[in-house]
Structure formats: structure tokens, C-alpha cells
Amino acid sequence: MAAGTRQGLKLALIQLAVGKDKSVNVSRACDYISQAAKAGAQLIALPECFNSPYGTQYFSQYAETVPDGESSKALAAAAKQHNVYVHGGSVPERDGDKLYNTSVFYGPDGSVLGKYRKMHLFDIDIPGKIRFKESETLSPGNGLTIVDTPWCKIGLGICYDLRFYELAGLMTQKGAELLLYPGAFNMTTGPKHWELLQRGRANDNQCFVACASPARDETAGYVAWGHSSIVDPWGAVLASADEKEGVVYADLDFNVVDEVRSSIPTGQQKRHDVYKLGDS
């Protein structure tokens, strides 16, 4: 660990087994928040679509207004009850006639500190393996969300956003030192890219990256890879789950961010004067 005076953060990722009963999903998420808070976690993060099965056929049925819906109110109350910060994974959000995949970040008083709508929708087609088109039901978000906390600035993304280094780069340029991506990678992309992308974004941006996944359910229509993980600014995996339900913990030392960025100062060496599209 690096020597320094910055305040450390105990982070918990909840790898939740998500079923078809929304109220049960929300109640169990709050139970895990209580468990993690009692274990000393100061920031507790949930997975993508923690209150709903992941699938285009479910998004409209499970959608709610944010932050006034059932799930949001429960997480706000849990954050306040346990005096912790809560990153609410994501939920299907209804806003007028549009649906979004939305994250909300709550303070220890239950207030909403940030809201992010998934910017890059998960539209893929791998012949013979998986086809999924979020855009069949969801609309994309169009803005960055960076939250101020006592430890650092935290940038928010969701799942497929992890593949886009431009988004991570913008968030770290704006001061983020921890990037949170709740995500439900599948049994095709998970083993190939889940850890690779987390370590890549951490290394590219010399920051912490944490990704909470749902637990794996082999009977579900969409089977999540699991393996919720926390990666440090060197690109090393600090903690990781297997495929089963549970909680992953790690102590984040933000002096390490300073150490890495001063030792290998790529942030100061970028050639923004050259990184432009134009005539060759």
C-alpha cells in the first residue's frame, strides 16, 4: 500500500440473486445492505437490474419512476437507516413514454446525489450464441454523472458502457478516481471480457474500477456471468466473487491513485493536440 494521508474507503459489492418478484428482490437487496453496513462498508453497490430479471420482455413490466418508485424509496431509506452511501445498481426507469436503464446514487441521509441513464445500449448479435437488443425497448441516456463523496469523485456507468474507454476517460478527466459499473455480462462475453475490461479501464485511467453483477441463475432466460470484482489503479484485482450470491469487500486506499499517477504520469502526457479526427 502507498504511504499517504488520504482517507480510505471500505467498498461492498452485492452480488444479488434476482428473481421475478420485484418486492422480494428489493427486500433482499436491503437485507444485504444491512449486512454490509454491519461489516463496516461505507459504500455499498448493487448490480444492474437488481429489482428485475434482465430481459427486454421485463423492462416495461418492472419499470418505475426514479427516484419516486418502490425500489428508489427503499434504497434511500436503507442508506439513511444505516448511515451509508448506496449505489443502487440499476433499475428500469419509466419517464413519460420512454424507458431507461438507470442508476441512482444515495447519500447517508437518503438524498439522491446522482442519477445516470445508461448511455451505450447493449445491442449485440453473436451468431449461434447470443442476440440481445436493449434498444428494442430502452432509450439511451445522454449525460455524464460524477458524484462527490468524502473520499473521491465517483463516475457512474452501466454494464456495456464499460467497453467504451472514451466515457471512462471523460469521467477521470473530470476528477473521478473510482468508476462504478453495475453489469450483467453473460456466459459468452463474461469469461472473455468481464475482467479484461475492468482491468483495462483501471489501467487506462489509473483509478479504481468496481463492477457488481447479479448472481448466476442457470434457469433464467438471460444467464449472468457473476464474478463481481474490484480492481485497483495498477490493474490488479483486489477482490472478486464466484458465480454465487454474496458480498465482495475491499478497502480502497486512494493514496495508490496518487502513487500510480505520479509514477507513470500518462494523464499529463496525453497529446490532446493530436488526438483529433481530420485529414491525414
Q: Where in the sequence numbering do the catalytic residues fall?
A: 48, 118, 159
Neighbour-count burial for 10-38, b at 16+ CB within 10 Å, e otherwise: bbbbbbbbbeeebeebbebbbebbeebbe
Degrees to nearest 5, angle at CA 144 with 70 and 116: 10
Burial classification of residue 73, based on how many CB atoms lie within 10 Å of its CB (0-12 exposed, 13-18 middle, 19 or more buried): middle
Helix (H, G, I), strand (E, B) or coil at 41: coil
- CA dist., res. 98 & res. 35, Å (int): 35
Mention every residue, 6+ apart, whose C-beta is less than 8 A from residue 217. Answer: 17, 18, 19, 223, 224
User: Which H or E run contains 160?
Assistant: none
Residues 121 and 118: their CA atoms lie apart, in Å, by 7
Q: Which helix (H) or strand (E) holds 233?
A: none
